[in-house]
Amino acid sequence: MTAALPDLQDRRVNMARRIIVALDFDTVDDAEAIVDRLGDAGQSYKVGLELLTVAGPTLATRLVDEGKDVFLDLKLFEIPTSVAGAVRAAGRLGATMVTVHAMGGSRIMEAAVRAAADFPQLRVIALTVVTSLTDTDLAAIGLNATIGEQVIRLARLAQRAGCHGVVASPQDAALLRAELGPDMLIVTPGVMLQAEMNIGTTTEHARPAHPAAAIRAGATHIVIGRSLTRAPDPAAVLAHLEDELGVLRAHS
């Protein structure tokens, strides 16, 4: 039994980096309160546009200084020069991931990848289709494709552009893993805990799934927000996920 303990600890440390806690708050105090409650257990955090607008780079800098992974979910969609500048800023900040819109095309993704090359820790992750969208939404903006078809099309484009990974719904993870091979990162927001799924909790994500289902399907990272951050005991939720998902990764 003793010999197995280091392996279990290694799995938990590894999985803690793959569970990205979304700091989707409109005040710095609320975001910092969750970081403080999770303490050493929280190893990866997503900082999105709302919090970055409210807090500036201060909180992200604090997280980096404490050795945390910071996923800057900027969803960059601009001319290549502007995207490259934003990616370099993310790299200087110490971020480990930054998102660009695959819908922006190859040139902006290639510019992002070139800009990130100066920062060994930084990975460029291409957003395929926003997880709140449905087939009807794509049709409304003139795209004659299903969500699944568009996700695969954009993921292929991102891979050719040199991106390190993609963001997609957990329900798209299996198709993406089969299409992209073993090396691309697949980051999946829109995960829900089983208790929420059992009672039919609504979510703005159109295609949610349980974290374990996402990992089994081939996701490398999950992004979890309110299911964890609004829980009575966020640290207990995180510890349970680390154990459950760590076992899955060990047997995959």
**Active-site residue set:** 75
On the 0-12 / 13-18 / 19+ scale of CB atoms within 10 A, 153 is: middle
Closest C-alpha among 170, 190, 196 to residue 22? 190
Residue 230 makes CB contacts below 8 A (sequence gap 6+) with none
Q: How far out from the chain centre does Cα 34 lie?
A: 18
Q: Tell whether the torsion through CA atoms of 184, 187, 192 and 197 is positive or negative.
A: negative
In the block, residue with structure tokens 């409304």: 140
Helix (H) or strand (E) holding 186, with range, is strand 185-188
Cβ–Cβ under 8 Å, residues 151 and 103? no
SS3 of 128-178: the string is: CCCCCCCHHHHHHCCCCCCHHHHHHHHHHHHHHHCCCEEECCHHHHHHHHH
> What token pair was written down for 198?
């059992």
